[in-house]
Homo-oligomer: A and B are copies of this chain.
């Protein structure tokens, strides 16, 4: 009469950072046997899985050996060995996202070309082979130079305002992206399953510190006009379908001063811009990922309440064993949820945790986010 859900699937995660950690916190609600591979046996996800394997996610042999033992595999970081995943896929392992999609996204040049091929809006760009090739692009400045491979968390991006900045450029294949006058930065996470069914999370808005040009906090849902929402959602769905792969796609978008929506970049996995979904949405991005991996129905992405989110970042000038200053003050705040990632050492700019704030009142969400930023510091003795 009803379908049965039988033996526990073995699912592997490549990478053991905080995204893996949060995936595993949620995995415990589902019928799944969890495996993680990562070099560092003290990484944030290591102790929350059934089976931890020490290995290099960039190594063909390590990834192949690890994946061969799993029914399904996913990633929590893009810098994995795609060739091994392609071989595993041929041999019948479910890989989400598909290696072909990952191959496109992993390289920023291929990613930009993909948007262009699919006539999806993105900032004008040129590809450059190395630093000296920048000499031919002076007419294209100001621009953002993005390393083709290996960029992560703000590394691998260099703003080139004028000719003199060229010496700051990367000496490797890169994308040169024409500077856009940004009104807002938003992100939409799309879930797409093997049948092509999609579910969209409400867009998140990134608020930047105007002085430091650093992400200050996030608010969901984004405060945008209805017509911009429709445009952003249409782009997000089209893009997710274009990848021809089940998975979660976190799509970062620029809204420019004309109300045009441009794709900035995409991550084919759970993403920082979806952390708040743990508390703020019925089905969190982490639960959604398990539903995809276990071939279960898509979840409900509706927001229970609006949310803001502050990343807890290692303070400048602090390296070594971590100390959370002001933790108690933040724990006294109402509707505030703390997530520490269990990293023993802090470094300047390292993501050490986050705080989610729920509330109906946007002003209150903003005020509390600023309060958390002011109170809670990630330092070292």
A residues lining the B interface (CB < 8 Å) = 2-8, 21-22, 24-25, 28-31, 34, 47-50, 282, 291, 296-297, 299-300, 302, 304-305, 321, 323-329, 331-332, 334-335, 337-340, 342, 344, 358, 375, 377
Contact = CB atoms under 8 A, between A and B. Distances in A.
Nearest to A341: B28
A299 B331 contact: yes
Contacts of A304: 304-305, 358
Nearest to A332: B297
A291 B330 CA distance: 13
B29 A339 contact: yes
A2 B296 contact: no
A239 B101 CA distance: 59
A351 to B, nearest CB: 14
B28 A326 contact: no
Contacts of A327: 3, 5, 31, 296
Contacts of A358: 282, 304
A30 B328 CA distance: 12
Contact of A296 (B282, B328, B377): B328
Given A3-B327, A296-B327, A296-B328, 11 more contacts: A3-B328, A5-B327, A8-B344, A24-B48, A25-B28, A29-B339, A30-B340, A291-B331, A297-B328, A300-B334, A304-B304
A221 to B, nearest CB: 17
16 contacts: A2-B328, A2-B329, A3-B327, A6-B323, A24-B28, A29-B339, A29-B340, A30-B338, A31-B327, A31-B340, A48-B48, A282-B337, A282-B358, A300-B335, A302-B334, A304-B305
Most chain B beta carbons < 10 A, residue from A8, A29, A34, A324:
A29
A282 B336 CA distance: 8
A227 to B, nearest CB: 27
A195 to B, nearest CB: 13
A328 B28 contact: no
Nearest to A42: B50
Contacts of A324: 4-5, 31
